[in-house]
Structure 1
Amino acid sequence: MLVPRRIATHSTYSHFARPLNYSSSFRAFVIDNSARPSPSFLLSNGARAFHSNQPKMSPAPKWSEWRLSPPSATPSGSITFRNQAQLPRLPVPELDVTLEKLIESCRPLAKDENELEEFKRKVSVFRQGLGGKLQERLVKRRESEGMRNWIAEWWDNDAYMAYRDSVVVNVSYYYGFKKVPQAPSSVSNPPTSDPAYVAASIIITALEFRRLLIKGLLEPEPAGKEGELCMESFKWAFNANRIPAKPADYAVKVREDSKEGQHVVVVLKERFYKVPIVDQEGREFTVEEMRRGLQGLLDKVEKEGKGEGEGVGILTGLNRDTWTDAYEHLIQDAGNKQVIDEISKSAFVVAFDQHRPEPAMEKVEGKGGKNMSGEGIRDFSERLWKAGGQGKGIGEGANRWWDKPQQWVVFVNGESGFIGEHSCMDGTPTARLSDFVSKRLLTRQPVEVGSSDPAPKSSPTIEALDFHVDAQTKHAIEEGKKEFEKHVGGHEVFYLHYGRYGKEGIKRNKTSPDGWVQMAFQLAYYMTHGKPCGTYEAAQVRRFQLGRTETVRICTSAALAFAQAMTTPSTTLSEKRSLFTQAVAQHGKDMKAASSGLGIDRHLFGLKHLFLNAEEASSPSAELFQDPLLKRSSTWTMSTSQIFIEHSPAYGWGRVDPDGYGIPYMVHKEHLQFSVTCERHMKGREFIANLGKAADMIMDMMEASAADAKA
């Protein structure tokens, strides 16, 4: 997945990858990273170490110090990294080509011809003015010695680490899994559900994936005919954590095979626990051994009738400056600092949630009678996405550690899912991890206690990780819970399992499945709002060193013409089919360019970063970036991103534009899967209903066209 997220209002660029607009002040030339003091906690090789027991807050490291050489157990010459040294560097597109494509991408969103002509004038002024100099500077940056990716530092900082709003909804994303087969019995009576078994299975299976990484046996992902994808981001999958800081956060990690990283952290009733993953001899625990340990913890907390923690986890879900202030105060206590270190160093976090979501679906309107939705799947999604259901308060927002890149959630009825923090990894690596885990969970045979299987040798000794909370931190937690509830309560999610056809049905019509689905989004929005909108689709550029994402601008003139034709009764079938074909072809062309590092938006992002001073930033050349048409075209009213996990009926993340929709989707062989996230004032329910209708309308058109051709 390559999901989008919203950038703070003071910042120029958007989240999950793309700029929200280009209207903000020029931040780039006033931030001098080189002026930051060298942190005292860097190792001699530049790897980021964890906090010492010194109560004084250490300065944040520079990006190059924490990002480029993270501690990693994966051998550099292994299968996993066999192609890293040969990967090309991200190109800088030609300026004239980008500007011409920019004009065409803005055309369908222009209010009238006068607005478009004024925009063209500003493009011309930019091209003839500072545009050429900025292009030269960008090319020089790309070609500079040691530069692996010209955009990487800027993008990490502006889109993620300097982003100050809560990571919850805005940055984090979720996957929900099909229910894991429960253990047929436990130590006592067979339970109706066994969350300890589900959690143990997830832990051991995720560690199997980690073992592939440690040994360098994880195969690189193919890049079609272009070789293999960059695997650098997998270094951040385990034993890592985001750390709050001003003006920008940073990340820390330890080697996956280090002694200090051989544990996971469990969160139960807002209290944190350290759970070893190996015994004293270094042997990894089995599923049953881990289950016994976790069941013992659950039984102990249940028997005592208490065990609630301090609620510190809620602070990780707040505004980043608010969390930074609370964090700096919190770690003045050496014990608190040690607790956060243990959470940071852990392989990942597992949260036991006390709710019982039932992700059941029922039939809804749609041709073929196979469309499914329902409040159950919505509630399941909301519990994963933001730890709360519709109108049900904050849920368990404090029962998470939102800064971990890998966090698994297990509910008391055995339902489960995944939450990802986005700053160091995009969705495709965690989708691969989750696909690996979910497939094995559904095929692994539960072990029946008392069977002929070898008896467990031992179980993990679980240690409570308790914070010392003084009056100041307690007040921050109380206020934080109120703020968290207010934040997440304004968002909702809708869901559609579209069952009439899937990838195979689309391919039978000799059409790109992704292009087909994107045109359904365009049609659904036009049906709902009667106008086009700026639309983002994430394209991955991991075929390049340190590559992340690029924007595909979906709202083209061809896409608008298609949407208008489909909603105009007088348009003939052949005209509709022709316009659809043109729109899908344009989408394919734009996707290919973006995936090749030749998109529009990252190039503009880079050029804007290279204004040297306020004089340049206020020159006539810079007027382009303040243009209302450019702002409109780069405000992602629809932000869309596709991943694929075979056994994940729920997948989502938040909208980018407060007046827009987030649309995570999957294209399965025989069905399409859509989530739509938005704020409560939007027409989410109407939009997703129209999305089902749009999918029907496109197939109806194709079938009628095929029938005419045979007649």
Structure 2
Amino acid sequence: MAEAHQAVAFQFTVTPDGIDLHLCHEALRQVYLSGLHSWKKRFIRFKNGVMTGVYPGSPSGLIVVVAGYMSYAKYAKIDPSLGLFTKLATHMPVSKYITEDGQRIAGGVLVGTGLWVTIIFIMRSVLKSLLSWHGWMYNRHGNVSIGTKIWLVLVKLFSGRKPMLYSFQSSLPRLPVPAVKDTTKRYLESVHPLMDDAQYKRMEGLAKDFEKNLGPKLQWYLKLKSWWTSNYVSDWWEEYIYLRGRGPIMVNSNYYAMDFLYVFPTHLQAARAGNAIHSAMMYRRKLDRAQLKPIYLLENRLMALNTIPMCSSQYERMFNTSRVPGVETDAIQHVNESKHIVVYHKGRFFKVWMFYDGRLLYPREIEQQMERILADKSEPQPGEEHLAALTAGDRIPWAKARSTFFSRGKNKQSLDSVEKAAFFVTLDDTEQRYDPDNPVQSLDRYAKSLLHGKCYDRWFDKSFNLIVFKNGTMGLNAEHTWADAPIVGHLWEQVLAFDPVIMGYTEDGHCKGKIHPSLPGPQRLQWDIPEECQSVISSSLEVANALADDVDSHIIPFSEFGKGLIKKCKTSPDAFIQIVLQLAHFRDKGKFCLTYEASMTRLFREGRTETVRSCTIEACAFVRAMEEEKQTREERLRLLRLAAEKHQDLYRQAMTGKGIDRHLFCLYVVSRYLGVDSPFLKEVLSEPWRLSTSQTPLQQLDLFNLKKNPEYVTSGGGFGPVADDGYGVSYIILGEDLINFHISSKHSSPETDSHRFGSHIKQAMLDVLDLFQIDRKAKK
């Protein structure tokens, strides 16, 4: 093969006259270009590190400050060094080495630099203090106080000019540790509607005892940790919630993102993969060069767009990252540089280099590589086809198999290629798509395929899997440990936006551009999997198949109305939907349950998520009023507004570090380290979340003009059920008139049925809107 020949840098033969070297100039050229690319990347990272490290200052600011200080010293006729060299001369003969003019210049530069560093420190400290204030959250729509306006101006003033992605990291405040008394009070309030009087009184006694005795001791250690670390929650959350889990991460942890709902840019699988892979690699390049803009909180009501920064630390491990199994705990492996991806197709693994001639491959060239893989008729090696099932089953068998069978030889090399790839790609041999003639079944199949596939055709340990189906539809499956869904969503939005609009396709569906006449082909990964390992793979696949078959997925594109009408009701769309979910759940099961809504804490450094406990006393009162036939519309509306306001208040608390669950979780971790038992904490952390919910935010609104192109809407994404007898609900609010719901549960539970629950959600949405007596048809 031509590519095999080009992979050899030189050949030699031994002759009577000595050794005759035959250099391959093309191979040496590629080595040179590769090295040049690596050094260029290192320089860019170094430069960006300097720019970020001195922000909100800049190197040009240093020149201005030093030059200004020197000019002032000359004008005021003062010693620029402020006597620095005079004091230094008493201890060493400075004048022997530096002239008097040189001393003035050197002293001026040193003092000017110190002044510049001081200014940066002051600006950074002031900005951190400003970002620690969250009173702006309590301003109502259209009624921004003078204090908030002044605060916004000051934040803008001290935020500097042209910030990069990580510029604000050192200016973000640390996540505060709430008082134990406040947390237990909020906890008791959250569980009150879920308990009878006897149960509540017992829990109240446990909480009071904890608050008085063990709580202060645990809190002292937690306070110490908060002073010492950037974030007192995040490392423990990653370790104990994700990495220590010994069950399958497929379904239980990984989540998925879908393609456009109504648009199908091309029917060619290889072409769609070409554009999508190129878009993802371009996004990685922007991350490496810090060319992405900082992530700001979307806060339209304050006219504060691009003002309130959020933490960007989770973006660092988006690419070149894999979860590595361990017997007791897993680990996250991240490499700074990876020039290849790994592609799975019909049981074979292929390593595909993403760079040639010192540049990233163009979309048509990537399509060319995918076409070669699709045309390859070779059979899988023994054990290769189902190998990825190891990542879908329990973690301990995978960890033991990895250390036993993949620690040396070709298996280690091939596994390294997978784990150190930029990301994983599956060229799926099935067809998935939204079918208008069969909307329910087609979307349900699509969701299940993205969530778990065949259980052996996704590498679930990778940071994310790009899945391209046979008919050109695509999707994403992401591992949860390294980051939360909005981070992956940011990448996915750019991939979707760039694909059909910016890059586009030719009339016959291919990527634009030309094929490369001498591009080396994909490299088939080699495995030597013994029968003992194949037995472990089969066991993992059996576990994964049982889990996948039990998942009951249902997707609802709810188009009766959207946030446009909800805003006319002067209600937060998120609060509206959360209350609807409480009503739907009560109608579905006849009872209330502990409800989890994910909120973010990225207003703080290294912040991740916090829980909003949506099943409140106010929400329960509204639901009961809706189920009482004699209750008046006015009373229901009053209770709805109280429930919505309560939910908004809980959301604010969660975002500003006053949540319940992360604090209690960390207190529990401290108690385990100290070897003490807390009946209160043990009971709190054992309570099941039978309704787990999350909103998928549309973050880059400028990429999608849904008014001009309403067809460019994504289906959003979803996740598996958290509790065996509960529901997982993800929803995305798209434009003014569409809300997509993703519902999951387990067939094995007699209490749940995703389609039944979906029907209750649709009816509850209509019933709650009818309270406002808004004519939907007139609106449309």
- Pairwise TM-score range, normalised by the shorter structure: 0.7 to 0.9
Q: Is the CA contact 1:265–1:274 (under 8 Å) kept in the aligned structure 2?
A: yes
Q: Is the CA contact 1:271–1:399 (under 8 Å) kept in the aligned structure 2?
A: no
* 1:241-640 mapped onto 2 (5 Å cutoff): 241-255=322-336, 258=337, 261-279=338-356, 281-301=357-377, 309-361=384-436, 373-387=439-453, 396-443=454-501, 444-447=503-506, 456=516, 458-611=518-671, 616-617=676-677, 622-627=678-683, 630=684, 634-640=687-693
Q: Is the CA contact 2:271–2:511 (under 8 Å) kept in the aligned structure 1?
A: no
Q: Which runs of 5+ in 2 are unaligned?
A: 1-43, 53-163, 699-703, 705-712
CA distance in 2, matches of 1:524, 1:205: 40
CA distance in 1, matches of 2:559, 2:446: 20
> AA paired with 2:505?
P
> AA paired with 1:214?
D
CA distance in 1, matches of 2:473, 2:764: 32
Q: Is the CA contact 1:290–1:460 (under 8 Å) kept in the aligned structure 2?
A: no
1:492-543 CA-partner distances (Å, limit 9, x unpaired):
1011111111111111111100000000100000111111100000011112
Q: Is the CA contact 1:180–1:415 (under 8 Å) kept in the aligned structure 2?
A: no
Q: Is the CA contact 2:387–2:456 (under 8 Å) kept in the aligned structure 1?
A: yes
Q: Does 1:197 align with 2:262?
A: no
Mark the CA change 1:312 to 1:452 in structure 2 (over 3 Å): closer, same or farther. closer
Deviation at 1:181, TM superposition (A): 4.8
Aligned to 2:201: 117
* 1:58-77 mapped onto 2 (5 Å cutoff): 75-76=48-49, 77=51
Secondary structure in 2 matching 1:610: helix
CA distance in 1, matches of 2:47, 2:323: 21
Q: Which runs of 5+ in 1 are unaligned?
A: 1-70, 184-192, 364-372, 388-395, 707-711
Mark the CA change 1:705 to 1:436 in structure 2 (over 3 Å): closer, same or farther. closer
Deviation at 1:306, TM superposition (A): 6.8
Q: Does 1:675 align with 2:749?
A: no
Of 474-483 and 593-602, the range deviating more from structure 2: 474-483
Mark the CA change 1:72 to 1:398 in structure 2 (over 3 Å): closer, same or farther. farther
Q: Does 1:206 align with 2:280?
A: yes
CA distance in 2, matches of 1:613, 1:172: 29
1:297-343 CA-partner distances (Å, limit 9, x unpaired):
21122xx5778844211111111111111111122332111111111
Deviation at 1:416, TM superposition (A): 0.6
Q: Does 1:84 align with 2:169?
A: yes
Deviation at 1:615, TM superposition (A): 6.5
> AA paired with 1:87?
L
CA distance in 1, matches of 2:204, 2:437: 51
CA distance in 2, matches of 1:556, 1:612: 30
Deviation at 1:227, TM superposition (A): 2.4
1:164-214 CA-partner distances (Å, limit 9, x unpaired):
11110001101110277555xxxxxxxxx3101011111101111111111
Secondary structure in 1 matching 2:355: coil
CA distance in 1, matches of 2:716, 2:165: 29
CA distance in 1, matches of 2:746, 2:568: 37
CA distance in 2, matches of 1:432, 1:459: 32
CA distance in 2, matches of 1:446, 1:148: 46
Secondary structure in 1 matching 2:292: coil
Aligned to 1:187: none
- Paired positions, count: 593
Aligned to 2:11: none
Q: Does 1:98 align with 2:173?
A: no
Deviation at 1:72, TM superposition (A): 7.8
Q: Is the CA contact 2:247–2:394 (under 8 Å) kept in the aligned structure 1?
A: yes
The percent identity for this pair of structures is: 27
Aligned to 1:10: none
Aligned to 2:145: none
Secondary structure in 2 matching 1:663: strand
1:636-663 CA-partner distances (Å, limit 9, x unpaired):
1100001135632151111111110000
Q: Is the CA contact 2:270–2:370 (under 8 Å) kept in the aligned structure 1?
A: yes
Q: Is the CA contact 2:363–2:513 (under 8 Å) kept in the aligned structure 1?
A: no
Aligned to 1:136: 220
Q: Which has the larger radius of gyration?
A: 2
Q: Does 1:656 align with 2:729?
A: no
Mark the CA change 1:686 to 1:180 in structure 2 (over 3 Å): closer, same or farther. closer
CA distance in 2, matches of 1:589, 1:520: 17
Mark the CA change 1:305 to 1:159 in structure 2 (over 3 Å): closer, same or farther. closer
Aligned to 2:99: none
Q: Is the CA contact 2:582–2:623 (under 8 Å) kept in the aligned structure 1?
A: yes
Deviation at 1:359, TM superposition (A): 2.1
Deviation at 1:683, TM superposition (A): 2.3
Deviation at 1:702, TM superposition (A): 1.4
Deviation at 1:219, TM superposition (A): 1.1
CA distance in 1, matches of 2:200, 2:505: 63
Q: Is the CA contact 2:345–2:373 (under 8 Å) kept in the aligned structure 1?
A: no
Q: Is the CA contact 1:243–1:251 (under 8 Å) kept in the aligned structure 2?
A: yes
Aligned to 1:151: 233
Secondary structure in 2 matching 1:528: helix
Secondary structure in 1 matching 2:773: helix
* TM-score when normalising by structure 1: 0.80
Q: Does 1:684 align with 2:769?
A: no
> AA paired with 2:426?
A
Q: Does 1:235 align with 2:316?
A: yes
Q: Is the CA contact 1:264–1:275 (under 8 Å) kept in the aligned structure 2?
A: yes
* Greater relative contact order (CA < 8 Å, ≥ 6 in sequence): 1
Mark the CA change 1:641 to 1:453 in structure 2 (over 3 Å): closer, same or farther. closer
Deviation at 1:448, TM superposition (A): 5.5
Deviation at 1:117, TM superposition (A): 1.6
Aligned to 2:5: none
Aligned to 1:66: none
Secondary structure in 2 matching 1:466: coil
Of 455-464 and 340-349, the range deviating more from structure 2: 455-464
Mark the CA change 1:590 to 1:362 in structure 2 (over 3 Å): closer, same or farther. farther
Secondary structure in 2 matching 1:75: helix
Q: Does 1:221 align with 2:274?
A: no
CA distance in 2, matches of 1:361, 1:664: 22
Secondary structure in 2 matching 1:221: coil
Aligned to 1:126: 210
CA distance in 2, matches of 1:631, 1:606: 11
